[in-house]
Amino acid sequence: MGAVNFKETILYKKAFEQAMRIFEMSKSFPREEKYSLTDQIRRSSKSVCANLAAAYRKKKYSAHFTSKLTDCDAENSETSVWVGFTLACEYIKQTQFDKLNALNNKVGRLMHHIINNPDRY
């Protein structure tokens, strides 16, 4: 099997979409959240993509590949927590939360499939 361009994977595309939605959404957060919620949610959502890139560079070694994917999963889970805070703080509406939460869950499901089946990727 030839080299896989991680940017062409459904997982990367969905994770990138999530990061960009969060970036746009977080532009409207209060200024006092700049160094807490805004930076944290942006960092964790972007880290999903960055760790996926690193994972694919380690693909030759299945254990390293899977390990880096679990880092992606952890960042995606952290993103989910921050999204929950945005709703609880009333920075977003329920409908926006539902869409982001669904996308986050999709990213998680795709990631778990790869983690559980690394040889297929």
Question: Residue 73 domain-assigned?
Answer: yes
The pLDDT of residue 8 is 94
Question: Residue 116 domain-assigned?
Answer: yes
The pLDDT of residue 120 is 86
Residue 63's domain comprises: 6-26+35-120
**Structurally, how many domains does the chain consist of?**
1
The pLDDT of residue 1 is 43
Instruction: Answer whether 24's CB lies under 8 Å from 113's CB.
Output: no
Question: Residue 54 domain-assigned?
Answer: yes
Q: What is the pLDDT of residues 61-105, one digit of tens each?
A: 999 999 999 999 999 999 999 999 999 999 999 999 999 999 999
Question: Residue 1 domain-assigned?
Answer: no
Dihedral sign for Cα atoms in the order 116, 120, 15, 72: positive
Q: Given a cut of 90, is residue 2 above it in pLDDT?
A: no
Question: Residue 16 domain-assigned?
Answer: yes
Q: What is the pLDDT of residues 18-59, one digit of tens each?
A: 999 999 999 999 999 998 999 999 999 999 999 999 999 999
Q: What is the CATH number of the domain that holds 111?
A: 1.20.1440.60
